[in-house]
Amino acid sequence: MTVGETAPSWDRFAHWQKWPARVLLAVIAVLLVLAAFTPLTASMDGTPSEVATFAVTAPAETPAQPERDEDLAFYDRVIERIAAGENYYDFIVKEQRERNYPVRPGVAVRLPTLAYIHAWLGEPGMLFLAVLLMGATIWAWWKRLGEEAHDESVRRFGAALMFVGGSLGLNRMYFVLHELWAGMLMALAFGLHRPGRWGWSLAVATLALAIREQVLPFVLLMGAMAAWRRDWKETAAWAALTFAFVMAMMWHLSLVSPQVLQSDPESPPWLVLRGLSGWLGNVVLSSNLRFLPHEIAGPLVLLMALGWAGWKTPAGTTGTFLYLGYGLAFMLAGRANNFYWGAIVAPAMFIGLAFLPMALRSLLIAARGRR
């Protein structure tokens, strides 16, 4: 008798045949070795960095007041000008030009959504919002894990991992970073989604997409998964959101483009083919994994993906496509100093570790061809 004859239906690898399981184990072993030796860098010159430049150092004369990173200081300035009553599009190109930040192409100028929210709420309001978002995301995944994990210990471990993955979003220093908010909102939208019940997920994803356009692959995946289930109503809803986003981006670019000069700085290319270091570096350096040696942190990213792949439920299947898809995108696109893109996917990706013991155990048993 094979393990698949007695294992639950949601244990994907328990239902695999011997040779596919052996091949996957061999691939995983090779990738884990490569991940352990892959340098993780946040530097344009390729200098290895085991701790991301999220951390800033304090000047010697004022140790209690850390120096603000240039990008964070820029976002602070944008928020200050909006709070003072200025219109974002009246000054944003000039601000970026004065700091020698690229404004060509127009997508190098961020959408204004987060800056306006921050200006309206102020830092105390953003702190309240961050705590509320964290609580809502953990609650959403607690509910979904309870429905699809079928194991209370996995449910508790998964919810705890959701907190670990998303806790960086509670750091007030980084409230101005678009990727942190978009990533937490995407994690919430994912946790709220159910086949046939997707309204709240769509609403949260809309806000995430309005903050950072890199949420678009998630929106497209949700639409594709709905089409695969032949839920045409949900498919149409995600398609409508995609269309609305395209229209909004065209409007955004139409306001930016007239102010751009040929002499303005142009962004270096994003298609740089960084390979495995692009995927692992982005996730590690934009999450709490950055405190671990890269020999441990890099393989953990792969093991998270493996855990998601072993969970044969709507959430597990969607998560597998989601995190492998973003992983491929990070291997192809994004410079080393764009490591913070990883914050889009890092929060809920940690949940995959809750299913890792089941995935590895079932793969090993299946590879042996035994019960």
Q: Is the pLDDT of residue 293 over 60?
A: yes
Q: How confident is the model at residue 10 (pLDDT cuts 50, 70, 90)?
A: confident
Any residues with CB less than 8 A from the CB of 264 and at least 6 apart, and which?
93, 97, 102, 103, 104
Beta-carbon contacts of residue 319 (< 8 Å; ≥ 6 apart)? 190, 308, 311, 348, 349, 351, 352
Q: What's the confidence (pLDDT) of residue 149?
A: 85
| Average pLDDT, integer, range 266-274 | 86
User: With contact defined as beta carbons under 8 Å apart, do 195 and 217 qualify?
Assistant: no
pLDDT tens sequence across 64-73: 445 677 889 9
Q: Is the pLDDT of residue 60 over 80?
A: no
Closest by CA position to 329, among listed 180, 185, 214: 214
- 171-221, pLDDT tens digit by residue? 999 999 999 999 999 999 999 999 999 999 999 999 999 999 999 999 999
Per-residue pLDDT reduced to its tens digit, 306-355? 999 999 999 999 999 999 999 999 999 988 888 999 999 999 999 999 99
- Give the tens place of pLDDT for each residue, 210-237: 999 999 999 999 999 999 999 999 999 9
| 56 has pLDDT over 80 | no
Q: Say if pTM beats, i.e. exceeds, 0.85.
A: yes
pLDDT reported for residue 67: 67
353-to-28, 160, 349 alpha-carbon distances in Å: 15, 11, 8
Q: What is the mean pLDDT of the chain?
A: 90
Section 44-60 average pLDDT: 43
pLDDT of residue 371: 52
Residue 228 to residue 244: CA distance in whole angstroms? 22
State residue 220's pLDDT score.
98
Q: Are 287 and 168 in contact (CB under 8 A)?
A: yes
